[in-house]
Structure 1
Amino acid sequence: LACLFLFCLFFYTCADTVICYSHGKVEVACGDMTPQHGHDPSTKNPPFNIIADKSQLSPGDEIKVTLSMASSEGKHYFKGFLIEARNAGNLSEKVGSFKLISPGISQLLTCDSKEGSAVSHTDKSQKTEVQVIWVAPSNSPSSVQFLVTVAQGYKEYWVKSPGPVVSQNGVAPPPQTTFGGSIGFTSEGCGSKKSCLRDPDGCDPQNDIACHFLSFRALGSSVMFELSGPAEGYVSFALSQDKWMGKDDVYLCIRDADRVEIKAAYVSGRTHPEYSSQNILKDTAWRLSDGVIQCSFRRDIILPPENLYRFSLDQMYYLFMAHGRAEVGRTHRHDRQPLISTYQTAITGPPEDLTGSRSPLLMKYHGAFMLIAWTSTVSAGVIMARYFKPDWPERNILGQRVWFQLHRMLMVLTVLLTLVGFVLPFMYRGGWSKRAGIHPYLGCVVVALAVIQPVIALFRPAPDASRRYIFNWMHFGTGTAAQVVAVVTIFLGIHQQALFLPAPWSTGVLAAIVVWFVLADLVLEVHRRGFLPIVLAIYLCGNLGFLTVLLWTISAV
């Protein structure tokens, strides 16, 4: 019982302290500066400031660094802290050493075998300010940035918050970089304070790591952009005057090891981006966490004339948002079809909650036409010819039997839908797609078989001709082959980049359509008399239901 009491007392003591290291010996956190709390860093604005009394340095200089509370809202103190100085050009490299001003509340740490390379707290007392002295080494890099992790409690802390950058005399400081927990994007204010484009629609990057997110808002003579999304190598967005890739103003956040480079670029077509040599982005910030790349920057609305490929932000554009792989800073083709805004939007206009689609309209029509043709009209036409020929023997429409007229009408509609659907991808791509795998090749086979069928029908012999059986087998074989190949092609097509219906349930619905047809065919084969109209009605209702679900899904992607 005594042991249990001591354990509970220890747990309670640690529950609201800094990583249970109230003594501040946090060398374990020297690398990523992250407390081992088991909670995510706070995404609120940091309630503290970190400043240096100099902006320039020389080897051997002593610079006073002050960490202090800046906000009177909420807690007006902090308990734990970790201060480091790092090479601004290589933020994994610790630079220089520290001296203490207040040894009662601060202590030196040895990180990466460098004595005094970091400073932390000595206890869990409430603090409002701490000051230390940083000593520049003889081999100091051109620029040094101070970083700080601050904890107000066990569940509330900020990681690697950026401090001031000090540079050697005559060296321009690099853009400050934010990372760790101090940069946090949220969908709060979308449509009221800022414009947002999101996928899935309505997602929040603060809570959903699968959320692809772009926001922008005007700030005086500039625009602030925020970009977030899960990606292996980069996330990007583009301003475009149309819905076609090419001649676009592009902005990329590219992961390079444990850093993110934020670049402006121009794409002239379906090629690698041409990076801008002009430094036009301000207040750049980024974060890497759980496979998600986040970055933000500010850009002037109007740029000088020498920025030939940068669009003016006081105009209306379509927005493209894409992501993909990158190696050694070089981007590869995007993993999925870009998300394209539904309509043009004014970048500096009133805030809007925008919608978009990853599937071009032409490709949606392509998918819809092929689905209707090869899962609905062709199956109804086959059933009509196979099982209703003996029925309505005396009923005619325009001089032909009812079953034949319905069969011919449905098959002609199938061929027309197939031909129109076949042309649409070529109109969109401007030629043959080299990245669609076997899908377009099978599509060509389907079109060829679909065209051959009516040609064969034109040369059919009379019903009582001796060679009629040859036509019957050719017509049946060609039609069945076309139907089977078409279904396989559709299964491959619904997950092509340009359509990419949600898996696995879209595959399940398509499989249900096939099974539904097979079941109807078996029932009609067994019960050829009496139940034909009822079975046909039930089949058509089910088929229409499944087809409607898939068509709605296509319209929604």
Structure 2
Amino acid sequence: MLPRKRSTKLLLIAVLCLVQSSEQHGSGAPPGACLDQIPRHSTILPQASVPPYAIITSSAQVRQGDALNVTIGSPFTTPLPIGGFILQARSIQDTDKIIGKFTGVPTVAQIMSCRGDNDTVTHTSPQEKPPLTFTWVAPNDYLGGVEFRATVAQSYATFWKNVESTLVEVVTPDTVITTSSPVTTTARTTQAPPVIMESKPNTTPPPLDSIYQGCADTKLCFGVPQNCIPTGYCKAIVAIFVAGDIYTFEIQGTDNPKYVSAALSMDNKMGDDSAMECVRNDNGRVNLFTSWTYPKVEPYVKRSDSPQDIVQLLESSTIDGKLYCKFRRDTVSKVMGQTFDLARNKYNLMVVSGDSMKATGEPLALSTVGTAAASSKLLLKLHGSFMIAAWIGTASLGILLARYFRKTWVGKTFGGKDIWFANTDGGDVATDRGRVHPDSSGGGRLDWYWRQPSRDYGDCYSGAYFRPHPGTNKRPIFNWAHWLLGNSAHILGTSTFSLPLYSPASRSICWVYTRRSYYCL
């Protein structure tokens, strides 16, 4: 009898332990799992492998107050049953913020309240479950991106954390959402006769994206390349709508960019600007950041130097290769010690997407309506034209006269100088004037790179004025020095011609290459 009583006690203890374990796993997620979604299964850690489960939503967009179907399950060839789970909708901007509420759940699930009413769903029993579909309602006071996040358990000791859906956008009630209707198939009983239809081209132009609407009468718009806004196809565009003291920005980039950015600047050069970035991650999530740009200091853009709470994301999307963000910016903000007052001050607008960058030609009040004009490249092209004429024309002519006509025009003088020497000096002076003219025309920072070699080259030629008379003992020294300095200046000028290709002020790359090709020829 004693062994039987001992065995009964041991069996009873084992049953109680199993009941306690089944309660921990089977009755739903504990309240402590509301934030981190960890089921508290003793010391068991989540799996590090790719989750065999997925979360699918019925649409990529949902209006404020509308319902959305959310399905959780295993989409692979051999689907795995669900043992337990906890599912929530999280804000993209603040991943600790739980969004919306659930209104409809299957009988094997239950609704619980973590941060708000009915904002979480979980299981009711540890029994194996097929894919489950829930009804989630978007809040009326939220705009922006959300993602559904879950922890799914296959068994008590095997579970996966951070099972995430694709991005879902909560948009305004007046937003038009297009969804593809399911394709239905019916059995064909009789074969219809062939119908020959004439195909005519559709002459109706496609509607403009929403960011272009109002650019002529209600918004300030600026895009790249130049004159792209009327056509509705800009590689990058920024639009600003002002209503009272509320400043709403829209930025969009095409050709599937990783980011598109707009900046407020005191001038039309990159550096010391307050930028706003719309960034797409590899998983399709779109984030909004602010940053401060630096002209000559790596990494050139720093988000940590700009407060992130001066902007509020309203909408974001990645549709047909177009990255789009709509957000508000505080009317008055302070970044890197500078006060940006959107109502009182004027700013140059900049827009960047990939390798496309453009700045407005003059500061503008952001409440201005219409299309902003870009800064002109006329002075840059005039600079290149004068340099081509100087280096290819007059400089080459001076060298040609000095080298081949020195012995031809013997005894002929002009102004007391041998005619070959007078013509060479004339070419040198014209060359010097040609390279000085762009300096006074406002070549800007780019001119600093081009100015130095030509000045050295001209100074080298002007040294010919100080040559000793032929026959003196110093003439060979002068000849060798003149040859050495002239060739050194020529090599320096040739190699330095490539520097503008890497200058941040050089935006007309084709023009620079053309100028360089002319010089080499």
Pairwise CA distance, 1:342:
0.6
Find the aligned partners of 2:149 and 2:496 in 1 and give their Cα distance. 66
Matched letter for residue 475 of structure 1: H
Question: What SS class does the counterpart of residue 370 from structure 2 fall into?
Answer: coil
Listed as ranges, the matches of 1:225-374 within 5 Å are 225-229=249-253, 233-243=258-268, 248-257=273-282, 258-266=284-292, 272-273=302-303, 274-281=305-312, 283-287=314-318, 290=321, 292-299=322-329, 301=331, 309-323=339-353, 339-356=358-375, 370-374=387-391
- Contact 1:453–1:479 (Cα < 8 Å) also in 2: yes
Find the aligned partners of 1:145 and 1:232 in 2 and give their Cα distance. 19
Find the aligned partners of 2:334 and 2:504 in 1 and give their Cα distance. 38
Q: Deviation digits for residues 416-471 of structure 1, max 9, x if unmatched?
A: 666887999997499x9xxxxxxx6x98676555534433x244232455775664
User: Partner of 1:404 in structure 2?
Assistant: 421
Q: Deviation digits for residues 227-262 of structure 1, max 9, x if unmatched?
A: 123586532222233345565443222333322222
- Contact 1:241–1:318 (Cα < 8 Å) also in 2: yes
Pairwise CA distance, 1:393:
5.2
Pairwise CA distance, 1:296:
1.9
Moved more, 467-476 or 398-407: 467-476
Q: Deviation digits for residues 50-89 of structure 1, max 9, x if unmatched?
A: 4647xxxxxxxxxx669xxxxxxxxxxxxxxxxxx97233
Matched letter for residue 460 of structure 1: R
- Shift in alpha-carbon separation, 1:280–1:446, aligned structure 2, 3 A: closer
Question: What SS class does the counterpart of residue 396 from structure 2 fall into?
Answer: helix
Pairwise CA distance, 1:493:
2.5
Structure of larger gyration radius: 2
Q: Aligned residue pairs: how many?
A: 366
Matched letter for residue 235 of structure 1: V
Pairwise CA distance, 1:486:
1.7
Find the aligned partners of 2:311 and 2:465 in 1 and give their Cα distance. 68
- Contact 2:390–2:434 (Cα < 8 Å) also in 1: yes
Q: Deviation digits for residues 285-306 of structure 1, max 9, x if unmatched?
A: 343653x53222234656799x
Q: Deviation digits for residues 194-217 of structure 1, max 9, x if unmatched?
A: 322222102259865x71212223
Matched letter for residue 281 of structure 1: Q
- Shift in alpha-carbon separation, 1:352–1:206, aligned structure 2, 3 A: closer
Matched letter for residue 262 of structure 1: L
- Contact 2:315–2:327 (Cα < 8 Å) also in 1: yes
Q: Is 2:459 the partner of 1:451?
A: yes
Q: Deviation digits for residues 361-391 of structure 1, max 9, x if unmatched?
A: 6x77875665454333311221232344456
Among all aligned residue pairs of Structure 1 and Structure 2, give the percentage whose two residues are the same amino acid. 21
Question: What SS class does the counterpart of residue 321 from structure 1 fall into?
Answer: strand
User: Partner of 2:41 in structure 1?
Assistant: none
Find the aligned partners of 1:65 and 1:293 in 2 and give their Cα distance. 24
User: Partner of 2:11 in structure 1?
Assistant: none
Equivalent residue in structure 1 for 2:248, among 219, 224, 229:
224
- Contact 1:446–1:486 (Cα < 8 Å) also in 2: yes
Q: TM-score, normalised by structure 1?
A: 0.50
Any gaps of 5 or more consecutive residues in structure 1?
1-26, 35-45, 54-63, 67-84, 101-112, 120-134, 155-181, 325-334, 433-439, 516-557
- Contact 2:220–2:241 (Cα < 8 Å) also in 1: yes
Find the aligned partners of 2:408 and 2:387 in 1 and give their Cα distance. 30
- Shift in alpha-carbon separation, 1:288–1:396, aligned structure 2, 3 A: farther
Question: What SS class does the counterpart of residue 242 from structure 1 fall into?
Answer: coil
Moved more, 445-454 or 313-322: 445-454
Question: What SS class does the counterpart of residue 295 from structure 1 fall into?
Answer: strand
Find the aligned partners of 1:403 and 1:251 in 2 and give their Cα distance. 62
User: Partner of 1:201 in structure 2?
Assistant: 226
Q: Deviation digits for residues 150-182 of structure 1, max 9, x if unmatched?
A: 12699xxxxxxxxxxxxxxxxxxxxxxxxxxx9
User: Partner of 2:179 in structure 1?
Assistant: 150
Question: What SS class does the counterpart of residue 489 from structure 2 fall into?
Answer: helix
Pairwise CA distance, 1:31:
7.7
- Shift in alpha-carbon separation, 1:234–1:183, aligned structure 2, 3 A: farther
Find the aligned partners of 2:509 and 2:58 in 1 and give their Cα distance. 37
- Shift in alpha-carbon separation, 1:477–1:138, aligned structure 2, 3 A: closer
Find the aligned partners of 1:117 and 1:191 in 2 and give their Cα distance. 44
Q: TM-score, normalised by structure 2?
A: 0.53
Any gaps of 5 or more consecutive residues in structure 2?
1-52, 70-86, 107-129, 137-147, 153-161, 172-176, 184-206
Listed as ranges, the matches of 1:356-435 within 5 Å are 356=375, 370-390=387-407, 396-415=413-432, 428=445
- Shift in alpha-carbon separation, 1:387–1:98, aligned structure 2, 3 A: farther
Question: What SS class does the counterpart of residue 497 from structure 2 fall into?
Answer: helix
